[in-house]
Amino acid sequence: MDLILKNGFVVDSANNFEGVADVLIDKGKIVKCAPDIEESADKIIDCSGRTVIPGLCDMHVHFRDPGQTHKEDIITGCEAAAAGGVTAVACMPNTTPPVDNAEVVMYILNKARKAKAKVYPIGCITKGMKGEELCDYEELRKAGCVAVSDDGKPVLNARIMARAMVKAHYAGLRVISHCEDPDIIAGGIMNSGAVSKELGVKGMHRMSEDTQTAREIVMAGDLEMPIHIAHVSTATSMLLVRLGARYGTMVTSETCPHYFTLTDEKLRLRDADYRMNPPLRTEDDVTAITEAVCDGTIDCIVTDHAPHTAEEKADFEKAPNGVVGLETSLAATLTELYHRGKISLRRIVKLMCVNPRRILNIPGGSFSEGEPADIAIFDPNEEWIVDPDKLHSKSHNTCFKGMKLKGRVKMTILNGNVVYEDK
Ligand code: DOR
Ligand code: ZN
């Protein structure tokens, strides 16, 4: 046997197991997870005092490769992933060129072969993300895509979106919808509310997100087709997802740690590192999103890891939207939800490891025999302060900068090999 992880506190939600156990690994796969395994192995790692979970799957990241590799490339993006305990990422297609044909998919998968995480490309819903002509979903799936999305942009035409939902479903791909009505945004740069008014900057009204979320859920219900709602940020959108799911619509959804941690009060700093799309909202939204994460209405926690350069982020009003998140997502979730007694580790593992893989139909997420040995090992109690300069990502635009987080990734294992170690 190649490796044994001894005496860690294993949380294996998919198998309903939680407790101190050993994990035996051979040839990159899980052989067994049980207390007091007697077999010997070439390498033994003592995990006492640490929590051992399946590697995280972040189903919403933006690696800028191809096209803007000065912000991030597939290799550095996966280094950031490994440092965050993330062993699988699904990367959004708003690259240059966009991922609307097999050739770009093949470029990504080829480059990802040497990366420290598994990369699953998401293809575009429409050619060039123009919202007009559907991509060839059979071609995208055969090339290796696991979902389709025009993330960063909405598909404005409802008829085109309806056709996309049906065609993608029959090609075996989930549609991930970025819910935004740009006519309502009309140049807004932060949540529209008391803070934007005081600052005198143009707001992004919440109905921009809510109207589109409502449309997607209504269409998914009427068509009897699945839909996945990306980065939910408002209380009303949350309610719509809850309602849809309650009445049998095949709706799944995700949110990001910043939406249950921070509010638009942060924007008072006039710092573009707190700007993303959708924007940080209000305390009521944070409460609603937190509830929905904890009660299971939201299926996944993702990062929307969106690297941008310091130069671009220097101008509060002109900077592009987006924040990096891969290296802080587990720690921020532990700090905000677990250490405050709002959520169990089991549910965190469901949200960050099991559900994203189920939605995308990709392997892993448990310690069952034969699963890939993709594992995150963390110290739930270690406190650290987020220093943007210490991130592995090429870009440092984190909205958690300077915050003290509790919970730190100590080691990440991919196919049985250590790809990250916190020393
Ligand atoms: O803040 C965001 N940044 N939201 C998106 O939807 C796109 C992303 C990006 O690509 O930078
Ligand atoms: Zn995104």
Residues 136 and 221 placed together within one structural domain of the fold = yes
Q: In sequence order, what are the beta bridge partners of 375?
A: 54, 413
- Closest ligand to residue 323's CA: 1
**Cα angle vertex 305, ends 420, 294, to 5°?**
90
- Closest ligand to residue 321's CA: 1
Residues 47 and 66 placed together within one structural domain of the fold = no
Residues 44 and 65 placed together within one structural domain of the fold = no
- The residue type found at 109 is L
CATH number at residue 97: 3.20.20.140
Write the CB contacts of 243 (distance below 8 Å, at least 6 apart in sequence): 217
Q: What is the pLDDT of residue 297?
A: 96
Residues 237 and 321 placed together within one structural domain of the fold = yes
Cα gap 422→150, rounded to integer Å: 36
Which of 314, 338, 360 corresponds to the end of one domain? 360
- The residue type found at 45 is I
Cα gap 326→364, rounded to integer Å: 19
User: Distance between alpha carbon 352 and the CA centroid of its chain, in Å?
Assistant: 8
Cα gap 33→12, rounded to integer Å: 9
Q: What is the CA radius of gyration of the chain?
A: 20
User: Distance between alpha carbon 42 and the CA centroid of its chain, in Å?
Assistant: 34
Read off the tokens for 408.
Answer: 């730190």
Question: Is residue 406 in some structural domain?
Answer: yes
Q: What is the pLDDT of residue 3?
A: 98
Q: What is the pLDDT of residue 96?
A: 98
- Closest ligand to residue 94's CA: 1
Residues 61 and 8 placed together within one structural domain of the fold = no
Ligand 2 centroid – CA 164 distance (Å): 19
Nearest CA to ligand 1 atom 4: 277
Read off the tokens for 2.
Answer: 């190649």
Residues 181 and 84 placed together within one structural domain of the fold = yes
Which of 315, 338, 360 corresponds to the end of one domain? 360
Q: What is the pLDDT of residue 228?
A: 98
Residues 106 and 250 placed together within one structural domain of the fold = yes
Question: Is residue 365 in some structural domain?
Answer: no
Q: What is the pLDDT of residue 306?
A: 98
Ligand 1 centroid – CA 369 distance (Å): 38
Count of structural domains, the chain = 2
Catalytic residue among 304, 315, 374, 422: 304
Q: What is the pLDDT of residue 102?
A: 98
Which atom of ligand 1 approaches the CA of 275 most closely? 1
Q: What is the pLDDT of residue 5?
A: 98
Residues 120 and 227 placed together within one structural domain of the fold = yes
Ligand 2 centroid – CA 23 distance (Å): 35
Burial class (CB in 10 A: 0-12, 13-18, 19+), 273: buried
Residues 170 and 212 placed together within one structural domain of the fold = yes
Q: What is the pLDDT of residue 275?
A: 98
Write the CB contacts of 90 (distance below 8 Å, at least 6 apart in sequence): 57, 58, 59, 60, 61, 120, 121, 122, 146, 147, 356, 360
Mutational test site, ligand 1, from 68, 94, 176, max ligand atoms within 8 Å of CB: 94
Q: Which of 148, 13, 85 is nearest to 413 (CA)?
A: 85
CATH number at residue 29: 2.30.40.10
Cα gap 4→41, rounded to integer Å: 6
In the three-class reduction of DSSP (H, G, I as helix; E, B as strand; rest coil), residue 305 is classed as strand
- Residue 328's alpha-carbon distances to 105, 254, 406, in angstroms, are 28, 17, 10
Question: Is residue 348 in some structural domain?
Answer: yes
Nearest CA to ligand 1 atom 3: 322
Burial class (CB in 10 A: 0-12, 13-18, 19+), 248: exposed
374 as an active site residue: the answer is: no
Cα gap 49→377, rounded to integer Å: 10
Question: Is residue 245 in some structural domain?
Answer: yes
Residues 136 and 23 placed together within one structural domain of the fold = no
Taking CB atoms and a 6 Å cutoff, what residues make up the pocket around ligand 1?
Answer: 62, 94, 151-152, 178, 276-277, 304, 306, 320-322
Residues 59 and 44 placed together within one structural domain of the fold = no
Question: Is residue 367 in some structural domain?
Answer: no
- Closest ligand to residue 60's CA: 2
Ligand 1 centroid – CA 321 distance (Å): 6
Q: What is the pLDDT of residue 291?
A: 98
Question: Is residue 323 in some structural domain?
Answer: yes
Write the CB contacts of 299 (distance below 8 Å, at least 6 apart in sequence): 252, 253, 254, 351, 355, 356, 359
Q: What is the pLDDT of residue 198?
A: 97
Question: Is residue 97 in some structural domain?
Answer: yes
Q: What is the pLDDT of residue 157?
A: 98
pLDDT by position in tens, the chain (length 423): 999 999 999 999 999 999 999 999 999 999 999 999 999 999 999 999 999 999 999 999 999 999 999 999 999 999 999 999 999 999 999 999 999 999 999 999 999 999 999 999 999 999 999 999 999 999 999 999 999 999 999 999 999 999 999 999 999 999 999 999 999 999 999 999 999 999 999 999 999 999 999 999 999 999 999 999 999 999 999 999 999 999 999 999 999 999 999 999 999 999 999 999 999 999 999 999 999 999 999 999 999 999 999 999 999 999 999 999 999 999 999 999 999 999 999 999 999 999 999 999 999 999 999 999 999 999 999 999 999 999 999 999 999 999 999 999 999 999 999 999 998
Residues 31 and 121 placed together within one structural domain of the fold = no
User: Distance between alpha carbon 114 and the CA centroid of its chain, in Å?
Assistant: 21
Ligand 2 centroid – CA 383 distance (Å): 29
Q: Residue 410's domain spans which residues?
A: 3-51+372-421
Q: Which of 44, 53, 47, 41 is nearest to 13 (CA)?
A: 53
Which atom of ligand 1 approaches the CA of 92 most closely? 10
Question: Is residue 103 in some structural domain?
Answer: yes
Ligand 1 centroid – CA 209 distance (Å): 14
Mutational test site, ligand 1, from 277, 326, 393, max ligand atoms within 8 Å of CB: 277
Read off the tokens for 1.
Answer: 């046997």
